[in-house]
Amino acid sequence: MSDDRGGPISYLTLEPGTPVLTSDGVEIGRVAHVLADADADIFDGIVIDVSRGPGGHRFVDAPQVAHIATDGVTLTLNAAAAEALPEPSENPAQMAADPDEGHEGRLTRKLRRAWDMISGNY
């Protein structure tokens, strides 16, 4: 993928404060935290400090990240879709209940970990 935000970089070197842009080129905020398990080489997503709308932190799941570059992160979402990104929370809402699933869902774990990073409980 060609991107005018510079050369591609690893999530391991993504710095807080890096601009985050939607697929249609709107800067919606800046990277606050990278959510990853570096030992297992798993990228879970990012928490961004948004500049649009009411502000605050939003969680971006890894599949919603199209490109990570030296000068910016580009999302797969356009500006309108990015407005609906969830806030990290201590007790994230369950997205779907499966009676056979006796544990937290993947998104719930990611949102909880994002909250822990922001609140310093990690």
**Residue 64 DSSP symbol:** G
Specify the number of domains making up the chain.
Answer: 1
For residues 80-92, average pLDDT: 82
Residue 72 included in any domain: yes
The model scores a pTM over 0.85: no
Q: Is residue 20 part of a domain?
A: yes
Q: How confident is the model at residue 113 (pLDDT cuts 50, 70, 90)?
A: confident
Percent of the chain surpassing pLDDT 90? 56
Q: Could you tell me if residue 18 is inside a domain?
A: yes
Secondary structure of the chain: what % helix, strand, coil (to 5)? 20, 30, 50
Q: Tell me the per-residue pLDDT of 37-83, one tens digit each, with 9 for 90 and over.
A: 878 889 999 999 997 666 799 999 999 999 999 999 999 999 999 99
| Backbone φ and ψ of 107, nearest 5° | -65, -40
Whether 75 contacts 66, CB under 8 Å: yes
Residue 116 lies in a domain: no
Pairing of β 72-75 and β 19-21:
parallel
Q: Which domain holds residue 71?
A: 11-89
* CATH value at residue 54: 2.30.30.240
pLDDT at 94 over 70: no
